[in-house]
Structure 1
Amino acid sequence: MRLLCNIVWWVLFGWLIALVAYIVGLILTLLVVTSPVGLGLMEYGKFLFAPFSREMISKSRFELDKNENVAWKAYSKIVMILYVVLFGIWLVIALLFAAIANVFTIIGIPNAYIIVKSLGTAFNPVGKKCLSKYEADALKIGEANKNLDKKFKRQSVQ
């Protein structure tokens, strides 16, 4: 089913959104000053190449950013604020129009769902990571196990 949905995504020009996001991310990364946003947009573009087989997660939610430099985190926050104000809002509006256009095709309703679901990443791509569905599910299961360990005061098994 995921393969079929990914094929429909590609037929209805989802690849174009993915390509634009990835190229803009690459350019912003090469500019160095905007690299936190660029890296996030490249991950977003990677997600959009096969959105029904991948998932966007926040690094901070799963503590994947523990080893990041404190200065990099602070700089990323500043760049993120500038991005949201200058570009993020406009990108979200454009993606909303794309989602509405997909809904009118009826076959594109799953595509519209993916676009709307990923608006948070488009609005703020800093600190996001693209993982396969299986990797994301494994992280969620690990997080659930940690929560159960805390709730029932169990010793965690590693």
Structure 2
Amino acid sequence: MRTLGNFLWFILGGVIMGLCWWFCSLIAFISIIGIPWGRACFVIGKFSFLPFGKEAISREELTLRGDIGTSGFGLVGNIIWFLLAGIWLAIGHLLHAIACFITIIGIPFGLQHLKLAEISLSPIGKTIVSKEVAHSAKMRNADVEVTRLRSGT
């Protein structure tokens, strides 16, 4: 089902937003100081081409440790990203989502566009993994939290 969803997604418009992400990536790489944003754009662009069966998750949630992208620097990077490109990519995904929702049969595609619109607002500190890996990481984190609450610390 994922393969069919990704195929239909790609030919029915996913390629457009994926190329928009890669265009932003190219601009960021050309600017040199934008290389961290360019890398994030490239990864999310690949996700935008074939989103079914994958999920964006915080690297801190995945690895249980922070890094520069999940720290205060990541927040500053996301604010800069939002002002320069994030808002425009989010608008593109929202417009595509509305078009998908109008067709009724395109509702699953519209939901994917809404997920991508959310990611486009703050991509720094996130990574793309399979849904199974994301679910496993969330369950592990929940187990750690339950253990912590039970021990009273």
Q: Match for residue 134 of structure 1?
A: 132
More helix by share: 2
Q: Give, in angstroms, the shift of residue 146 of structure 1.
A: 0.6
Equivalence for 2:79: 81
SS in 1 for 2:57: strand
Tell me what 2:88 maps to: 90
Q: Aligned letter for 1:82?
A: I
Whole-angstrom distance in 1 between the partners of 2:107 and 2:91: 18
Q: For 1:64-79, what aligned pairs fall within 5 Å after superposition?
A: 66=66, 68=67, 75-79=73-77
How far residue 69 of structure 1 moved from its aligned partner, in angstroms, is 5.3
Task: State the alpha-carbon separation in 2 of the partners of residues 32 and 14 from structure 1.
Answer: 28
1:44 equivalenced with 2:20 (yes/no) = no
1: distance between equivalents of 2:73 and 2:150? 39
Q: Give how far 1:65 is off.
A: 5.4
- Which of 105, 108, 126 does residue 107 from structure 1 map onto? 105
TM-score by length of 1: 0.80
SS in 2 for 1:146: helix
Aligned AA for 2:19? L
Paired residues of 2:55 and 2:130 also in contact (CA < 8 A):
yes
CA contact (8 A) 2:100 2:109 kept: yes
CA-to-partner distance for each residue in 1:126-152, whole Å, 9 max, x for gaps?
111011112112211211111121122
Give CA-to-partner distance per residue, 1:27-55, whole Å, 9 cap, x none.
Answer: 41353311222222122112122211110
Partner residue of 1:147? 145
Aligned in 2, Cα 1:139/1:89: closer, same or farther, shift over 3 Å?
A: same
Give, as a single letter, the amino acid of the residue that structure 2 aligns with 1:20: C
In structure 2, list runs of 5 or more residues that go unmatched.
none
Q: Percent identity?
A: 32
Residues 29 and 35, structure 2, Cα contact 8 Å, conserved in 1:
yes
For the aligned residue pairs, the C-alpha RMSD in angstroms reads: 2.6
TM-score w.r.t. the length of structure 2 is 0.83
Give the 3 Å change call, closer, same or farther, for CA 76–151 of structure 1 in structure 2. Answer: closer
**Count, aligned residues:** 152
How many angstroms apart in 2 are the aligned matches of 1:141 and 1:132?
14
Tell me, which stretches of 5 or more residues in structure 1 are unaligned? none
CA contact (8 A) 1:22 1:42 kept: yes
Q: Which moved more, 1:29-38 or 1:135-144?
A: 29-38
> In 2, distance between residues paired with 1:123 and 1:130?
15
Find the aligned partners of 1:27 and 1:96 in 2 and give their Cα distance: 22
Structure 2: which amino acid aligns with 1:81? Answer: I
Residue 5 of structure 1 corresponds to 5
SS in 2 for 1:44: helix
